[in-house]
Amino acid sequence: MVFSSLTFLCFFLPSVIVLHTAFRSLRARNAVLLVFSLVFYAWGEPIWLLGMLFTTGLNYACALLLTRIASPRKRRFALFLAVAASLAFLVYFKYTAFAVNSLSALIGGGRVMEPLRLPLGISFYTFQAITYTADVYKGKCRAQSNPLLALLYIACFPQMIAGPIVRYADVAEKLTNRAVSADDAYRGFCRLIVGLSKKVLIANLCAEAIAALPASGGEQALSVAGSWLLMLLFAFQIYFDFSGYSDMGIGMGRMFGFKYPENFNYPYISASVTEFWRRWHMSLGAFFRDYVYIPLGGNRVPARRWVFNVMAVWLLTGLWHGASWNFVAWGAYYGLLLMAERFAARHIRLPVPKPLRVAVTMVFVLFGWALFYYESLPAGVGHIAAMLGLSGGGFADPAAVYVLKENALLMCAAALCCLPWAKPLARARAVSCLRPVFMSLLFALSFLFLVGQSFNPFLYFRF
């Protein structure tokens, strides 16, 4: 089940809202959320519910153990046990085939192992469980004694499948003491509508435009215009797909009394790659910063060690997104870019206008999306070669020209929606009065498009 499905919007979500509102007791409301969250997760393949329960139970038990032992050595062992076992479960499903096939290719073996079926949302709930145990170990929060509340923290359906990655300290108080005001419900529902419209009206239409490009699967030589057009459409698709999901999750969380952290902050207006990653998938960036980069020493180390820290973080970030060499290259690409950018900031002083810096940043981001888009490294590198005019596909092709003409309005609308004009506009009293009408029309339009569109799951579900 996905947020943008008719089943979810017409039956599942209304049922949760009605029952959650009907009960006055917080214990009953938590029970409603927990039961529906487990149903939501088990909807497609119930067997994977066992994996999520295993990870949650393990970290719940280890966190309690951390509160009952004083020995630093034993506490470190308890933390290691929770992290290692959680990661082992993730690594087995996500990286076994990648490791076996890479080793086989290295030694010249001919056997190829098919990737294991990936449990839904395993990367997100694993990281969330690890942050809980690590924060208890560091003394940043208290261990939760109620196993059902610990499970609700991990399994709460608005955020468990594709984030944002929520830390226990962000919601601990709300698990035992929260109220939902009419304003929270209204603002949360508006955020839900905005996210749905991003997914249905922009991301899905960009996906259809990409599919209309004959070279979208990498079967033939790409023209320069076609390669840039494909990456621009993909940049719009992945941003509105993922930020749309995050908006829907944040909105629904607020409707039930939770305030989840923001996950995106208009990344395509960034004037540097460093700024881009401060605005894109912010909860994941914060996780790697706080639980990998800083424990390794951050930037308060000698230069060589800092280079190691940066590359370690970005190679892990790439591998987190997928078990293939194109994601490893994608992570290394950004690690090298960030180091080069820091070097340039220290040693090169040029008064470059901000619009030019934004444009250059977007070029680097589009090259990165080329590595991200394909399932193999040669295909991604080949696409970058086509963007540079090195593929022999010519400057333009009829299909690219046709897709550009047919989707020019869509791309202009997507580009406009990447800009932060809506925030100051929303503060105006006249606009605020018209918001219910606008949101109603936006929801109706999204619903109509959703009825006519084929099934198109969120991109980040595969991670």
Residue positions annotated with a catalytic role: 321
Are the beta carbons of 121 and 461 closer than 8 angstroms? yes
Instruction: Give me 259's structure tokens.
Output: 């305030």
Nearest in space to 180 (alpha carbons), one of 189, 167, 168, 192: 189
Task: Compute the distance between CA of residue 95 and CA of residue 88 in angstroms, rounded to an integer.
Answer: 10
Task: Compute the distance between CA of residue 258 and CA of residue 160 in angstroms, rounded to an integer.
Answer: 13
Instruction: Give me 449's structure tokens.
Output: 């498009």
Task: Compute the distance between CA of residue 439 and CA of residue 393 in angstroms, rounded to an integer.
Answer: 44
Reported as half-sphere exposure (CB side, CA atoms, 13 A), residue 121 has a value of 31
Helix axes 325-347, 377-387, angle to 10 degrees: 50
Task: Compute the distance between CA of residue 393 and CA of residue 221 in angstroms, rounded to an integer.
Answer: 5
Find the radius of gyration of the CA atoms of the chain.
23
Instruction: Give me 99's structure tokens.
Output: 């490791």
Q: What are phi and psi of 143, to 5 degrees?
A: -70, 140
b/e 36-71 (16+ beta carbons within 10 angstroms → b): bbbbbbbbeeeebbebbeebbebbbbbbbbbeeeee
